[in-house]
Structure 1
Amino acid sequence: MSLLLTLNKLNSHKRIDGLGGAQNYRKVAIAACFGTFLEWYDFLTFATLAVILGPLFFPTNDPNTGLLASLVTFGVGMVVRPIGSALFGSLGDRIGRKPVFMITIVLMGLATVSVGFLPTYAQIGIWAPILLVGLRLMQGLSAGGEIGGSAVYLTEHAGNEHRGFKTSFLQLMGPLGILVSTLQITLLQQWLSPEEFQAWGWRVPFWISIFLLLIAFKARMVLEETPVFLELSKNIKKNESQLINNFKDPEIRKRMFLLFFCISSSGAILFFCVQVYTAIFLKTSVRLSPALVDQFSIFATIVLFPLTIFAGWLSDRVGRKPVVLGGIILGAIFIHPAFQLLRYFGTLHVESSTNSSFAGMGVIITILSLSLGLVIGPQTALLAELFPAKNRNSAATLPHNLAAGWIGGLLPLIVTWLNQAWGNSLAGLWYPTLFLGAAAIATFLYLPETKRINLSI
C-alpha cells in the first residue's frame, strides 16, 4: 500500500518534462509496475515452490536429483527469455511499446494459471513434467518481451529529469512478486496440513493469477503509447525491425555487450543470489525450518525496497556508473564470505536458537541486499539511456533478457550442480564471485555515463 501511495504522489502533474504532454506519469507508473509485478509473481512463484514441485512432477528416490530437475525446469523458462525478447523487442520498435505489453501479459497469465491445474506425475505419468516444461517455455517467452520492454516504456514516459528515481520503482516488482508469493505460501502452510498443502494447497498461488491478470489487463488498456515512440513514428515512414541493424552498428553492439555483461548479468546474479538462492541454500544446506527461511526471504525483500529507491535517487546526483560499480564490487567481495557466515550462523541457530545468530543472518542479508539495490536501482533508466530511440526496445531487451535468462536464471542450477560435484555447499559460489569481479573491471573501464542523455534522440 505504501508503494502505491508513493507512486500516487510521484509526478502526479499532467506534464512530463516536455516529452509526455498531458500524459499522467502516475497512471503510467502504477499500470506498468503492476503489470511487471504480475509477470514476476507468475514467473517466480515456480522458484518459490521448487522444493515442493520436485517430488510432485519429478519423482525420484534421490531428493537432490528431484531438486535439480525442478531447477532445470525453472531454468528452461529463463533460457528462452532471449527468444521472447528478440521477438517482442523487435515488435516494440515496429508497432509500438503498448501492443507488445498487452500480448505478453496475457501469455504469462494464461500459462501461470494453467500450471495450477496440471495433473501430477502420479496422475498422468511422464506427461506431467512435459506439460510443465511447455508452460514454463510459454512463461519465458512472454517474460522476455515484458521484462526490459517495460523499462523502456516507463523510462520514455519519465522524461529527462530524475529518471533514476522515477524508474527505480519498477525494479521493486521482482522482489515484490517474491514477497507476495512467499507470504501466500507461508499462510497456506499455516492454514493447511502438510498433506493438504502437498495435495492441492501449492496450486492456490497459480490460481490467484487469473484475478491479477484481469486487473493488470484492465490497467494497461487505458495506457497510451510513449511520447518518444509517437514522435519517432512521425519522422519515419516505416518502422523496420532494428534487431539485425543493432549488430551491424559497432557502437550499439558494444553497448549491448556492456549492458549484458556489466549491468544486466550483475543485477541478475545478485538478484538470484539474494532473492532466490539464499532461500534454497538455507533450506537444503543449512536445513533451517521452511517457516524461518520464509521470514528471512520476507525480510530481504522489505530491506531491498528503500535501498533500491535510494540507489535510483543517488544515481540522479552522482551518476549511474559509480552507483552500479559500487554494487558490483560489493557483491564480488562479499558473496562468498556471506554464505559462509550464513551457514555458520544458521548452524548455530539450529543448535542453540540464539538471538545473536538470528541477528547475524539479518545483517548479512542486509549487506547482500545493499549490493543488489545499488545495481538495480539505476538499471531501469540505464536500459533505455544506452541506446537511440529508433532501436531502443530491441537493443535493450535482448541483452537484458539474455543475461537474466542464461546468467541469472541458470545460477541456482549451476551453483547447486557445482556444489554437488565438489561435495561442498559453498564451492559453486565461486562462479558468481568471479563473474562479478570481471564485470566490475569492464564497468570501470568501458561503461559510459548516461544520466544526462536526451531520450528523444
Structure 2
Amino acid sequence: MNPRQTPNKLTKLEKSAGNEVKQKSSYRKVAIATCFGTFLEWYDFLTFASLAVIFGPLFFPSSDPNTGLLASLATFGVGMVVRPLGSALFGSLGDRIGRKPVFMITIGLMGAATVCAGFLPTYAQIGIWAPVMLVALRLLQGLSAGGEIGGGAVYLTEHAGNKQRGFKTSFLQLMGPLGILASTIQISLLQTWLTPEEFQSWGWRIPFWISLLLLAIAFYIRRSLEETPVFLELSKQSQTQSQLLNNFKDGEIRKRMFLLFFCVSSSGAILFFCVQVYVAIFLKTSIKLDSTLVDKLSIISTLALLPLTVFAGWLSDKVGRKPVILTGISLGALLIYPAFESLTFLGNLYLALRSPGALFGLALILMFLSCLLALVVGPQTAVLAELFPAKNRNSAATLPHNLAAGWIGGLLPLIVAWLNQSLDNQLAGLWYPIIFLVLAGIIAIRFLPETRGSNLLGKN
C-alpha cells in the first residue's frame, strides 16, 4: 500500500462518516420540530375530548345529563368533521408552496383558537352565544388539524430516507397519545389540587391557557426547519402546483386514496378513538367509575402504547407494512366487543368490592387495546407518504387521512353513545366500529399494496 494514499482514504472515510453524522443530526432536528408541533396540535385538539364531560353542563345545560353529554360530543365531532376541508386547503398549498410554510400557518391557527377557548364565557354568563363561540373555535381547530395531521407525516417521511423508514416515522404517531397523556395528567392534577367547585368554575381553563406557552416553543423550534429534499427536487423540475383535482382524475391515485381512507386511516382512527377517547368516556359515564381513577388507567394505557407503536413501526421495516396493519385490523374486529364486555364486568366488580384484582384487570385490558392500536398506527406515517407519487403526495395523502379521522374516527364517540342510548344497551354501539373494521380488513387483504421500500422521489 502506498503510504501517500492512506491519508486520502482516511479523509474520504472521515468525510463519509461526517456526512452521515450530519444527516442524522439534521433528521433528528426535523423529527423533534415536526413531532413537537404535531404534539401541540393533538394536545390542543384533544384537551376538549378530555373535558367533554365537564363541558356538558357549562355550555349545554340540560335537565338530562345524557343530552348535555351528547351535545358536548357533537361539538367535539364538529372539529373532526371539518378536518377534511383543512386538509384539502392546506394539502393543496403544501403541493404548491411547500411543506414548511403550511406548518407555520396551521400551528398558529390551532394555537390561537385553543388559547381563545380558555377565555370563553359559559352559558350561564352569555347564554346561547357561549356554545356558538365554542363551536366556532372548534371549527378553526379542525381546519388547522386537517393541514397539520397528515401533512406532518409527509414532511417527516420525505426527510427520513429509505432505511428504517417505518421505525423513524413511527415516533410521529406517539404525538396523539402524548397529547392525550399531557392533557389527562394535567386535568387529573388540577382535579386533585382544586375543589370540584373551583375546577368547574375556572380550573378547566388552565389547559387551554398553557397552549400559549407551547405555541411559543413550537414557533421557536419550527422557524429553522428546512424544506424537504423531495419538494426541493420538484421545485427544480417545475412540478410544484396544486394537484387536488388531478388526484381524482388519475385512476391509480384515486384507488390508493380510497385504500388509505377505508383500510389504513379509518381503521387507525377507529381504534384510536375507541382506545384513547371513547373508553375513558365509557368508564366514566356508563360504568360510573370515578373520573380520577379512569384518568390514571388512561395514563397507564397510553404509557404502554408508546413503545408498542415504535415496535410496530420497526416490525413493518422487517416484515412489511401490510401484514402488521392487517394484524391490528383483524384483532381489533374480533376483540373490541369482548374487551368492552370485560371492562363492564371488571368495572362493576370493582365498584361492588373495591377489588385490587379488578383494577389490575382493567389496566391489562386497556394495555391490550393499546397493542391493537399500535399495530395499525405504527407503520401508518410511512404508508401515508409511500402510497403516492411525490408531486401529488401532500394533497393525496392528507385528504383521505383527515376524512377518515374526522368523519369516521371523530364522530365515533358520538355515534356509539347515541346508539347505546337509542338501543338502551351500553355495548350496542360497538357494532359500528366492528363492522367497519371487518370490511376494511377484507378490502385490505385483496387490494392494499405493500409499500415498504418505495422510492419517495419516483412513482410507486
TM-score computed with the length of structure 1 as normaliser: 0.95
Match of 2:141 among 120, 139, 142: 139
Per the TM alignment, residue 337 of structure 1 is displaced from its structure 2 partner at its CA by: 0.8
Q: 1:193-342 counterparts in 2 under 5 A? A: 193-236=195-238, 239-342=240-343
1:131, distance to aligned residue in structure 2 (A): 0.2
1:377 aligns with 2:392: no
- Out of 41, 44, 49, the position equivalent to 1:42 is 44
1:74 and 2:76 matched: yes
- In the alignment, the residues of structure 2 paired with residue 107 and residue 83 of structure 1 have an alpha-carbon distance, to the nearest angstrom, of 14
**Residues in 2 aligned to 1:256 and 1:89: alpha-carbon distance in whole angstroms:** 14
Unaligned runs of 5+ in 2: 1-16
The aligned length equals 442
Partner Cα separation in structure 1 for residue 198 and residue 18 of structure 2: 51
Uncovered stretches (5+) of structure 1, i.e. residues with no partner: 1-12
Could you report, residue by residue, the CA deviation over 1:358-397 in whole angstroms, capped at 9, with x for unpaired residues? 1211221121111100000000000000000001000000
* Map of 2:157 onto structure 1: 155
Partner of 2:419: 418
Distance in 2 between residues matched to 1:239 and 1:179, nearest whole Å: 38
Shift of 1:15: 4.8
Q: Distance in 1 between matches of 2:432 and 2:269?
A: 13
State the match for 2:409 in structure 1.
Answer: 408
Alpha-carbon offset, residue 23 of structure 1: 7.1
- Cα deviation for residue 224 of structure 1 reads 0.2
Residue 64 of structure 1 corresponds to 66
Relative distance call for 1:187 and 1:23 in structure 2 (3 A) is closer
Structure 1's 221 and 14: CA in aligned 2 closer, same or farther, altered over 3 A?
A: farther
Would you say the 8 A contact 1:148–1:401 is kept in 2?
yes
Letter in 1 for 2:228: T
8 Å CA contact 1:81–1:401 kept in 2: the answer is yes
Provide the C-alpha distance between the structure 1 equivalents of 2:23 and 2:57, rounded to a whole number of angstroms.
Answer: 54
Distance verdict in 2 for CA 1:14–1:173, change over 3 Å: farther
2:185 alignment partner AA: L
Counterparts in 2 of 1:225 and 1:23: CA distance versus 1, 3 Å: farther
Aligned partners of 2:289, 2:24: CA distance in 1, in Å?
53
Using the TM superposition, give the Cα deviation of residue 240 of structure 1 relative to its aligned residue in structure 2, in angstroms. Answer: 1.9
1:334-375 deviation per Cα after TM superposition (whole angstroms, max 9, x unaligned): 101110100000000000011221121122112111110000
Q: Larger radius of gyration, structure 1 or 2?
A: 2
Stretches (4+) displaced over 4 A: 13-17, 20-23
Q: C-alpha distance in 2, partners of 1:390/1:16? A: 27
CA distance in 1, matches of 2:280, 2:25: 41
Once residues 91 and 390 of structure 1 are traced to their aligned partners in structure 2, the CA distance between those partners, rounded to angstroms, is 12
* CA-CA distance at 1:239 after TM superposition: 2.2
Change (3 A) 1:69 1:16: farther
Contact 1:16/1:157 (CA < 8 Å) preserved in 2? no
Whole-angstrom CA distance in 2 between matches of 1:330 and 1:425: 22
1:282 match: secondary structure: helix
Contact kept in structure 2, 1:54 and 1:67, CA below 8 Å: yes
SS at 1:424's partner residue? coil
In the TM superposition, residue 246 of structure 1 has moved relative to its aligned partner by 0.2
Q: Is the 8 A contact 1:264 1:403 kept in 2?
A: yes
Aligned 8 A contact 1:14 1:22 in 2 = no
Distance (Å, rounded) in 2 between the aligned partners of 1:201 and 1:173? 25
Aligned residues: percent identity?
Answer: 73
Deviation at 1:22, TM superposition (A): 8.6
In 1: Cα distance, 2:83 partner to 2:243 partner = 19
CA shift, 1:14, in A, is 6.9
Q: CA separation of 1:22/1:64 partners in 2, compared to 1, >3 Å: closer, same or farther?
A: closer
Distance 1:89 1:14 in 2: 35
Which deviates more, 392-401 or 435-444?
435-444
Hey, what's the Cα distance between the residues in 2 that align with 1:404 and 1:122? Answer: 33
Distance in 1, Cα, partners of 2:176 & 2:194: 27
Q: Match for 2:455: what amino acid?
A: N
What is aligned with 1:102? 104
1:12-23 pair list within 5 angstroms: 15=19
Q: d(CA) in 2 for partners of 1:368 and 1:440?
A: 17
Query: 2:357 maps to what in 1?
Result: 356
Amino acid at match of 2:181: L
Q: What SS is found at the alignment partner of 2:435? A: helix
- Aligned-pair distance for 1:437? 0.6
RMSD after superposition: 1.2
Cα deviations across residues 34-59 of structure 1 (Å, max 9, x unaligned)? 00000000000000000001110001
TM-score by length of 2: 0.95
- Displacement of 1:443 after TM fit? 0.9
